[in-house]
Amino acid sequence: MIAEILKKPDAHFRWLKTGSIWTGSILLAVILNIALFSLMPRLIQSNHQQTQAFDKIQTVNFIRIKPKEIPPKPREKKKEPEKKTPEKQNIVRTATSPPKPSFKKPDLPFELNPRLPVGAIQLPAPDIQSISLEGPDLKDFYEVGEIDSPLTPVVQMHPIYPMMAKRQGTEGWVKVRFLVTETGRVEKISVLDAQPQNIFDHAVIQCVNAWRFKPGTVEGIPVNVWAETVIRFELE
């Protein structure tokens, strides 16, 4: 193999070059390791000395002391000048009675009758009438003529014309009687008369039941009032 290398000078040069590189790198590594091993003890000693130096440092605690609060000086009150009270004078008042008026008797052209009674004359007073403050005695039901004012309708709907009567061209009327309560509602509806019979009764009862009135009053008090009306059914 060496003979082959000697035969080729370029290969010999390459082999020397690579061998020198490896030897140089190995020597450099050895030198660096020796230097590091020699420096390690010194670095450890310097760090130990620094820690000892830090241990010798004494710690100082700072405590903040609050300053003493100086109380404010009290204000001097101004002395008010003493008010001089006026001296009471001993005043002696003597009670004097008012002078009595003197009346002169009038000179009359005639003589007084001595038989007339002397003193105030009491006149007879009329008998005092007792008035009761309680409300009037109200009845359970009233007629329209007995209340203070006529019934005023508030809601008054028209009845619905029955379809059968409308198709047949039937006309008529219904007379009803109903009670308007003290609240204005309608109750106790009854048919008094109708023409023709049993044709418009149901429509009238449904219509009147939905009516509302301003309740009638007796001396300002709402009362129950009976009312009557006639409802007519006419085709246009």
Query: Quick check: 209 pLDDT over 70?
Result: yes
Q: Are 207 and 149 in contact (CB under 8 A)?
A: no
218 has which bridge partners?
221
Q: Where are the domains of the chain?
A: 2-56, 144-233
Q: Are 225 and 141 in contact (CB under 8 A)?
A: yes
**pLDDT one-digit tens code per residue, 77-87:** 666 666 666 55
**67 or 182: whose pLDDT is higher?**
182
Q: Under CATH, what is the fold of the domain 144-233?
A: TolA/TonB C-terminal domain (3.30.2420)
Alpha-carbon separation of residue 108 from 111, 130, 197 (angstroms):
7, 48, 98
What mean pLDDT comes out for the span 172-185?
Answer: 94
Nearest to 175 by CA among 188, 164, 158, 189: 189
Q: What does the pLDDT look like over 89-137, one tens digit per residue?
A: 555 555 566 666 665 666 656 565 556 555 555 556 666 655 545 556 7
Per the CB < 8 A criterion, the answer to whether 231 and 174 are in contact is yes
Query: What per-residue string of b and e applies to 175-184 under the rule 16 or more CB within 10 Å gives b?
Result: ebebebbeeb
Instruction: Identify the residue with better confidence: 198 or 83.
Output: 198
- pLDDT mean over 136-144: 82
How large is the greatest C-alpha to C-alpha distance in the chain, in angstroms? 204
**Number of other CB atoms surrounding residue 138 within 10 Å:** 14
Average pLDDT of the chain to the nearest whole number = 76
